[in-house]
Amino acid sequence: MMQNWLRITFLHWRYAPQALAARLPAGLEIDTFEGSAWVGLTPFELTGLRPPFLPPLPHLSRFPETNLRTYVRERDGSRGIWFFSLDAARAAAVAGARIGYGLPYAWSRMQISAGSGRTEYLSRRLWPDRIAGSEIAIEPGGDTENSGLAAFLVERYRLYSTIAGRLTYTPVEHPPWLLKNAALVRLEQSITQAAGLGVPEGRPLIYFSEGVRARIGMWRPARIN
């Protein structure tokens, strides 16, 4: 699938690796940076959703999305993302991703607005529960270097899931992120609690990007031995 990820905010909190390790399937380990695991909450706008060689589908090709994720590696050293939840505002897209990629998508009522130097995201989950929601407002700042911890958190080109009980990986292609620093204006969220991760401690580390154009490949079986 081809798609664009626009007006994306990366909010990250440190977590103890052992607090996340039990949530992973066999074959994956928590990936750490200087001994810390990280959980990311990433609201953005998805546009241009389409299969290769076909135009975007009306109504289905543009909607907000919010992902809750952590960072993992296989035993061979391959690195990627493990999703605890993915909220999207199109029921058909939710169904397609759950069936086609085994990803834990949820259907939510969502809205993104931008103006006066501020970007705001609103999400209220409708299915499979009505627990999770978020209100996020940030003010993007100046450009920042995409290296070190920032690169560890955002430059991920593989996502993992399970399909029929089998660990799979999906390759992802996109240009490197062009990141900005961002100031937090407002944050209320229950997405981490709904995922069983509790309330994160401290203020999040925040980056913002205008976005990238991405290509999502077909899933493939992962080796677990």
CA distance 2 to 194: 30
pLDDT for residue 224 is more than 80: no
Superfamily in which the 2-221 domain is placed by CATH: Acetoacetate decarboxylase-like (2.40.400.10)
SS3 at position 43: strand
pLDDT tens column, 39-60: 999 999 999 999 887 887 777 8
In the prediction, which pLDDT does 195 show?
97
- Show the tokens assigned to 96: 């397609």
pLDDT tens column, 63-97: 999 999 999 999 899 999 999 999 999 999 999 99
Q: How confident is the model at residue 31 (pLDDT cuts 50, 70, 90)?
A: very high
The domain segmentation of the chain, as residue ranges, is 2-221
pLDDT tens column, 160-216: 999 999 999 999 999 999 999 999 999 999 999 999 999 999 999 999 999 999 999
Which pTM value belongs to this model? 0.95
Q: How confident is the model at residue 225 (pLDDT cuts 50, 70, 90)?
A: low
In the prediction, which pLDDT does 61 show?
87
CA distances from 7 to 93, 137, 151, 209 (A): 19, 12, 18, 6
Mean of the pLDDT values across residues 126-149? 96
Q: Which DSSP string do the residues of 109-153 spell out, in sequence order? A: EEEEEEETTEEEEEEEEEES-S--EEEEEEEEEEE----THHHHH
Mean of the pLDDT values across residues 21-47? 97
In the prediction, which pLDDT does 58 show?
72
Q: Which residue has the tokens 């677990």?
A: 224
CA distance 215 to 138: 27
In the prediction, which pLDDT does 111 show?
98
